[in-house]
């Protein structure tokens, strides 16, 4: 099949300032919502799709009101609306709809302008356009309509109740398919899609100390990733390489498909090998990674040379003591997908992610994107929503994604790395290739996400020397090579995240000395907040963080983690299920800034794992928390999260951020005085909502709403 390689991008501008407006499938419905009843059809369908704007706060009570009124709730639409389908047999549908600000979803609203924009392009009529069709239920009639309009159903989701269809249609049939499918009463969105594409020694020093010639201080403390497990979804692994081989040269347990296998955690490195694409198995004696990309990715995350498994100088990975779960998605050279096990388009990642969780993974690396050759790249897709959903259900599971290789173009950060809850990683240059770690790699995709969210989250070296596979698990090779791409930056960050998790699970916080009685399991949000709080500005990038190029900055573990004697201290809190409604009192904390500039910038970082948005959502944020910091030393100065001056410091004025689930207030390193923190539940349509908060710098906690739950560096 041929696949279209260019889709024009339609940018939605300035919708953040129009928070009360309704944006659906990229269409701003300003005028329609002013006179909603005029937008209702003369004959209201018995099971039509509607947008209902409510006067009550979104949440469980609002959803119950809608269900009791005869509607099936499909999704929340920020900030006050729901996408619903009227139930069959509803009495007096027009009278019922008049209780709400109701819009009937017209067929032409069911797909974004970016798809229509294709029709003005000169494209080979036979080129296939991949799409995902979202409906309230599957039906034979819908499939017949797709096929009669010239479409081909390429894949269906494994996950029950996930009503998605992967479809490809020749360009010549696109307009007719849109017309017929959008008219079906159960269909509510048709969104552009794509197949999974690969995003293809000094890194460990740069990540730990900030420079290639610096120390590996985190390793020297004994943190190498012990008791941490990283899942790699890629082309496979040459597991007899000296970076992954067992002492006895045995193969790992093998599981076929997405069934949960039986990992062997007594093994040195690979605890299980999930063969997601069986056609690859047996294609040649000893063939597993038939590309080499997966072996390189695994080497950057957790490669460990068997003659010096934890040392420097052997191109070991970032977390050399971590275990690996390998999810081999195969490799194909067709023009639709590099990873055939994921399907084309990618419509359901949930079984693969759940498999990793149930087999014991703490982290999941994804050095691929499903939109690298498509515009718009930075939209909220089906696999993006899947990742956010799995983290929401498993709040201690962190998914790390390569930002993409679409740079230096702005707004090129790709799906699924635009997910809210994932860690999106861009690529800095590396001395391995004669580059400067404070400069961005030209290929690294730039932000923002389509809804204006800050992506990528951070950067680290994406030009690395790592393990090289030879497509044969019987050769015992020990080769390395230099490879570049955000594909390589992502597993380095994944390994760094494993070291952060180990810091907390071994009890290094709060005193900076290992104490098992202080050990706890951090949430993914706390690991992410810790990394972002310690990230440093890349001096070779124009403008202070956060910016479209580096996000919040480059990973710097010695800045993120506190050890006894450090000038830079951290206060960390990890609250689960804290807010249930937006009427609860704000979370409160108070700290003192001591003015020791050697502690670095004072950063207050708020991160929360947000409820997944619907695929194709124009605004991805669902539950909205607001960070407010007030300097109360003299005349009170109120600082909103994510409101900065040109130098990257927080300033008064502005308003609450309504699109990001990462908010930060940044103060100068020599700041002094008393500061109060409030975390306000602005909007909680999908409770409960927890959060993670990290305060870094020369800081000391005074009080907070849950003082009994806080432990910090002072006794």
Residue 192 has pLDDT above 80, yes or no: yes
Q: Is 3 a domain residue? A: no
Among residues 459, 489, 505, which one ends one of the domains? Answer: 505
What are 445-485's pLDDT values in tens digits? Answer: 999 999 999 999 999 988 765 655 555 555 567 777 777 88
| Structural Rg of the chain based on CA atoms | 25
Q: Is 64 a domain residue? A: yes
- pLDDT, residue 529, reads 99
Q: Confidence band (pLDDT; 50, 70, 90) for 634?
A: confident
Could you tell me the CATH number of the domain that includes residue 498? 3.40.50.200
- pLDDT, residue 482, reads 77
Q: How far is CA 323 from the centre of its chain?
A: 22
Q: Confidence band (pLDDT; 50, 70, 90) for 327?
A: very high
Q: Is 583 a domain residue? A: yes
- Residues 597 and 496 both lie in one domain: no
Q: Residue holding tokens 């019922």?
A: 96
What are 581-629's pLDDT values in tens digits? Answer: 999 999 999 999 999 999 999 999 999 999 999 999 999 999 999 999 9
Residue 137 has pLDDT above 50, yes or no: yes
C-alpha span between 715 and 707 (Å, rounded):
13
- Residues 293 and 407 both lie in one domain: yes
The angle at the Cα of 343, spanning 342 to 347, to the nearest 5 degrees, equals 85
Partner residues linked to 207 by β-bridges: none
Q: Is 177 a domain residue? A: no
- Residues 285 and 424 both lie in one domain: yes
Full domain range(s) for residue 615: 567-709
Q: Is 599 a domain residue? A: yes
C-alpha span between 451 and 445 (Å, rounded):
16
- pLDDT, residue 4, reads 30
- Residues 488 and 583 both lie in one domain: no
| SS3 sequence of 58-117 | CCHHHHHHHHHCCEEEEEEECCCEEEEEECCCCCCHHHHHCCCEEEECCHHHCCCHHHHH
- Residues 99 and 210 both lie in one domain: no
The chain-wide mean pLDDT, for the chain, equals 87
Partner residues linked to 650 by β-bridges: 644
Is 367 in contact with 403 (CB distance < 8 Å)? no
- pLDDT, residue 219, reads 86
Q: Is 641 a domain residue? A: yes
Q: Is 500 a domain residue? A: yes
Q: Is 562 a domain residue? A: no
Q: Confidence band (pLDDT; 50, 70, 90) for 138?
A: confident
The residues near 499 (Cβ < 8 Å, ≥ 6 apart) are: 218, 223, 224, 225, 228, 318, 319, 557
Residue 201 has pLDDT above 60, yes or no: no
Could you tell me the CATH number of the domain that includes residue 665? 2.60.120.380
C-alpha span between 529 and 552 (Å, rounded):
11
The residues near 64 (Cβ < 8 Å, ≥ 6 apart) are: none
Q: Residue holding tokens 């899942």?
A: 231
Among residues 80, 109, 138, which one ends one of the domains? Answer: 109
- Residues 365 and 494 both lie in one domain: yes
Give me the count of residues in the chain.
715
- Residues 238 and 95 both lie in one domain: no
Is 381 in contact with 415 (CB distance < 8 Å)? yes
- Residues 440 and 338 both lie in one domain: yes
Among residues 77, 109, 141, which one ends one of the domains? Answer: 109
- Residues 88 and 208 both lie in one domain: no
- pLDDT, residue 7, reads 25
More confident: 65 or 118:
65
What are 94-134's pLDDT values in tens digits? Answer: 777 777 888 889 999 999 988 888 777 778 888 888 999 99
- Residues 98 and 219 both lie in one domain: no
- pLDDT, residue 39, reads 59
How many structural domains comprise the chain?
A: 3
Burial 673-705 (b: 16+ CB within 10 A, else e): eebbbbbbbbbbbbbebbbbbbbbbbbebeebb
């Amino acid at each position: 099949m041929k696949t279209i390689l260019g889709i024009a991008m339609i940018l939605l501008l300035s919708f953040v300032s129009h928070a009360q407006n309704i944006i659906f499938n990229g269409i701003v419905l300003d005028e329609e919502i002013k006179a909603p009843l005029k937008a209702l059809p003369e004959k209201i369908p018995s099971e039509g799709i509607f947008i209902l704007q409510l006067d009550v706060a979104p949440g469980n009570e609002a959803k119950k009101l809608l269900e009791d009124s005869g509607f099936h709730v499909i999704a929340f639409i920020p900030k006050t609306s729901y996408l619903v389908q009227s139930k069959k047999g509803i009495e007096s549908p027009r009278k019922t709809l008049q209780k709400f600000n109701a819009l009937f979803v017209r067929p032409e609203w069911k797909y974004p302008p970016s798809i229509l924009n294709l029709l003005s392009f000169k494209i080979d009529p036979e080129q296939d356009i991949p799409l995902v069709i979202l409906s309230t239920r599957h039906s034979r009639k819908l499939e017949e309509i797709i096929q009669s309009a010239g479409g081909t159903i390429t894949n269906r989701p494994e996950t029950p109740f996930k009503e998605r269809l992967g479809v490809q249609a020749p360009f010549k049939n696109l307009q007719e398919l849109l017309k017929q499918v959008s008219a079906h009463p159960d269909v509510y969105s048709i969104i552009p899609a794509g197949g999974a594409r690969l995003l293809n020694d000094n890194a460990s020093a740069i990540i730990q100390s900030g420079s290639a010639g610096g120390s590996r201080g985190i390793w020297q403390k004994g943190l190498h990733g012990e008791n941490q497990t990283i899942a790699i979804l890629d082309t496979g692994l040459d597991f007899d390489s000296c970076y992954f081989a067992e002492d006895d040269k045995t193969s790992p347990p093998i599981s076929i498909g997405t069934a949960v296998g039986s990992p062997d955690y007594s093994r040195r490195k690979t605890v299980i090998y999930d063969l997601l694409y069986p056609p690859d198995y047996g294609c040649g004696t000893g063939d597993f990674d038939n590309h080499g990309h997966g072996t390189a990715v695994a080497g950057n995350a957790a490669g460990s040379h068997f003659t010096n498994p934890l040392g420097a100088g052997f191109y070991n990975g970032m977390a050399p003591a971590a275990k690996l779960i390998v999810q081999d998605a195969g490799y194909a050279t067709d023009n639709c997908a590099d990873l055939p096990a994921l399907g084309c388009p990618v419509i359901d990642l949930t079984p693969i992610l759940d498999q990793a969780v149930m087999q014991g993974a703490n982290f999941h690396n994804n050095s691929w994107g499903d939109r690298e050759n498509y515009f718009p790249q930075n939209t909220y897709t089906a696999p993006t929503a899947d990742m956010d959903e799995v983290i929401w259900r498993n709040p201690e599971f962190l998914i790390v994604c390569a930002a993409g290789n679409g740079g230096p173009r702005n707004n090129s950060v790709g799906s699924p790395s635009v997910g809210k809850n994932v860690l999106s990683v861009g690529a800095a240059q590396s001395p391995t290739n004669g580059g400067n770690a404070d400069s961005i790699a030209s290929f690294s995709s730039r932000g923002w996400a389509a809804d204006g969210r800050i992506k990528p989250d951070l950067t680290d070296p994406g030009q690395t020397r790592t393990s090289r596979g030879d497509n044969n698990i019987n050769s015992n090779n020990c080769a390395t090579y230099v490879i570049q791409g955000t594909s390589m930056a992502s597993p380095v960050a994944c390994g760094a995240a494993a070291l952060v998790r180990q810091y907390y699970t071994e009890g290094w916080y709060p005193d900076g000395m290992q104490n098992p009685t202080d050990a706890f399991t951090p949430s993914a949000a706390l690991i992410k907040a810790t990394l972002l709080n310690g990230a440093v500005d890349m001096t070779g990038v124009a403008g202070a963080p956060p910016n479209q190029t580096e996000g919040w900055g480059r990973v710097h573990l010695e800045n993120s983690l506190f050890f006894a004697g450090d000038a830079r201290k951290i206060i960390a809190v990890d609250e689960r299920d804290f807010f249930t409604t937006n009427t609860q009192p704000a979370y409160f904390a108070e700290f003192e800034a001591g003015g020791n500039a050697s502690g670095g910038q004072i950063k207050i970082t708020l991160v929360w794992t947000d409820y997944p948005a619907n695929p194709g959502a124009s605004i991805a944020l669902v539950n909205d928390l607001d960070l407010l910091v007030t300097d109360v030393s003299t005349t009170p100065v109120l600082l909103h999260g994510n409101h900065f001056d040109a130098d990257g410091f927080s300033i008064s004025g502005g308003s609450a951020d309504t699109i990001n689930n990462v908010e930060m207030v940044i103060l100068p390193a020599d700041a002094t005085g008393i500061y109060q923190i409030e975390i306000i539940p602005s909007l909680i349509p999908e409770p409960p909502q927890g959060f993670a908060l990290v305060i870094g710098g020369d800081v000391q906690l005074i009080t907070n709403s849950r003082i009994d739950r806080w432990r910090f560096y002072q006794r």
